Structure 1
Amino acid sequence: MGLFGGNSSSAPATASTANVEAATAELDMITDVFNRLVQSCHKKCILDTQYREADLTKGESVCIDRYVASAFPE
């Protein structure tokens, strides 16, 4: 089975409008979850918003790792 439920033959498969709309809605939902995670993580972990350094500090990096791990437990 190919992309969007079509056949995986050499001929290009046409995706139905419903499948494209479902994939678009899923992508929008995933993007929203990612953006909310980034915003809340930034508020909690990035304390100095002057951005004096290009890289994260050790404390910021540890905070982000822990925050993301708690948001998506195994």
Structure 2
Amino acid sequence: MGDIGDLLHIAISNDAGLRSIVDSVEQEIVAGTTSIGDISRKYGVSPIFIRGLAKRIPGLDVKGQGMVLLDRLH
């Protein structure tokens, strides 16, 4: 039930704390850390939480166990 709660929180929240995690995740990916497992361990959240964030962030997509930056020009 915790994963569902995390996904609902991500879907409906405009929380400043959530925004800071989003910014941190984007910085990790730009720096080259794309593993969902590595990022979730670093921030102490579940991999489902990170996947949910990736789906909410424009310009990011989940590919297998990692995340990729999408081409924002197309």
The normalised TM-score by structure 2 is: 0.26
The structure where strand makes up a greater share of residues is: 2
> Whose radius of gyration is greater, 1 or 2?
1
| Larger RCO (alpha carbons 8 Å, 6+ apart) | 2
The normalised TM-score by structure 1 is: 0.26
